[in-house]
Structure 1
Amino acid sequence: MKTRGTALNPHNRFQPLASDRTRDDDWYRDPEDDLNPDSLATEVRDEQVRTIISRNQSPDIPFDRSINPYRGCEHACIYCFARPTHAYWDMSPGLDFETRLIAKPNAARQLRRELDKPGYTPSPIALGINTDAYQPVERERRITRELLEVLLEYRHPVSIITKGALILRDLDLLTELARLGLCSVRVSLTTLDNQLKRVMEPRTAAPATRLKMLRELSAVGVPTGIIMGPVIPFINDHELEHILASAADAGATRASWVMLRLPLELDGLFQDWLQRHFPQRAEHVMNRIRDLREGKVYQSEFGKRMTGTGPYADLIRQRFNRQARAVGLNREAEPALRTDRFRRPSGEQMGLF
């Protein structure tokens, strides 16, 4: 599929019936058949949500609440750990995840309601964690911008992870949030190789553009960093030192890494992608992944799922830490985002009468 991460649409594990037809079946090969094109347009449907802040108690991520303006992600990253969640909405984690999106148009209104609850206690909200808040559909829908406007109005702290250049549209809001000590941004930087980016993350910003994002955000005072996630054995691991050096040159002050994770249907999707693009390396890559996961393809245990275990994981950690020190990343403890500025504008106005 042109500009898509996968051509597969594996069975939704919650459906009792399944079809064995795939992109490679004979019925899908007729070039004159308009019902089976070489690419698919993105479909977006709206969902009026009842809640917008998701909570978690995971000990290996640094936040306890998050907001996702969209379900599914047009960026089409083949490795995305969120793909299996699309099965909850009666769709496939494969091509459906990239092409059949769900937008939350009432997200900002619902956020305002939740922040206005008397018992709400502020803590940094991570924006766009399951799927990217700055994926292409945001250009027209502007849900992420509306959420940032509410967070600025309430003086509420927010952290953002993205690989979408559209974040630069919102520099005005991010600059003001940063001035108040209320925001930080992490750019997902997985490769500096344009060709690898095209097949691994088809609809994301180019590597040079992500470095530009770091430069422009840091220039206006937004605390910036990168996440090299995921590290994929024998695919992008050789770039580790170069990625960290380039990020530091672009103004990043923080960096972290995450090892490839292959939960549920993502295992089959990723292995198919390997066979299509790196057939000579595919077996080697999967053997190393099993080494990282104690003989399995995936481990869900806290403390292991993000980094894996064993000699290879230790080697990546050592290389990462050494290079981060060499280029000046993670030099000091990261300042906490402020929660003491939180206010409820509607409540303050009502108090005047």
Structure 2
Amino acid sequence: MQGWISGVWGFSALVGPLVGGLIVDHFSWRWVFYLNVPFGLAAMLLVGRGVPESTPEPGVRVDLGGAALFAVGAGALIYGLELESPVAGLLAVLALGAFVLLERHQAFPLIPFPALRRPFALRGFLGNLLGGMAFFGMTAYVPLFAQIARGQSATVGGLLLSPMTVGWTVSSVLTARWLPHWGPRPLARWGPMAMIVGFGAWALARQGPLPLLGLAGLIIGAGMGMVMLALLVCAQEEAPREVLGVVTAMLLFARNIGGSMGAAVMGAALGPALSAGGETLRATFWKVPALALALSLGILLMGLGVPDLPARKAEPLEESEFVEAEASWALRQ
């Protein structure tokens, strides 16, 4: 089953950017969003008919206050980074600070901070945050670079993005096979090293042939898939079974919010070059992979503390479970 799920994600990662580019080139960018409507309706129908309803436990409440504070704080943070707004930054600090204080006294918190006190959960959280900033921050601007700085079509921009997502998918599947034999320690180091090499190649060869940039993107994706799954498994192996889902969700959440933060930071680094385009953007774009490389060094620091296998209080996960959360997250993107 995991092979089928990963195969669907790999096919989508390859075809999606290409189809999106073709739609933009030959129709309108609006159709990229309209195209999601029938697929969304079909997914709703399948989930409604195929997923049984669960009975909530008595006494469990949804943390609406915490969710509201976090939404305001995270939104203000991204807004402040993108527009360099001190007011939005101050609002983010106040809202997120209130969120942390509220969560400490909630019986059913949105983010159970005690779970992050576990060393591998915290390492995985920070690694996923940095990984999301590096990878998704970069992917937010690669098609723009291809079109505005290199004068290529939207289709070519999509093709330039595909190696990164395909490399991640293939690497995740292979890493799931390697983990039971090698353990997470070497993979948590090799992954960031591959990302450093890939981002460095992108920065140096940004004006070179597009196939060379595609190869660099493939290396980046392969490293991302390797280290993200290794960190995820470490956190899962350490966590007791009753909080396994919470720990997994926190790591994937860190990656998502990291992507938004990374896109905002890299957009601010490019500054006026984004609107100028052309040679100005081409000369300035090195800042994007350079920032991603610096973030990858932080991921490597997280990986250096990963052991062979952390002690576990419950039975070990089966091999098929190693990739379960990764594939589920991928299908939601």
TM-score by length of 2: 0.24
Larger relative strand fraction: 1
Larger relative helix fraction: 2
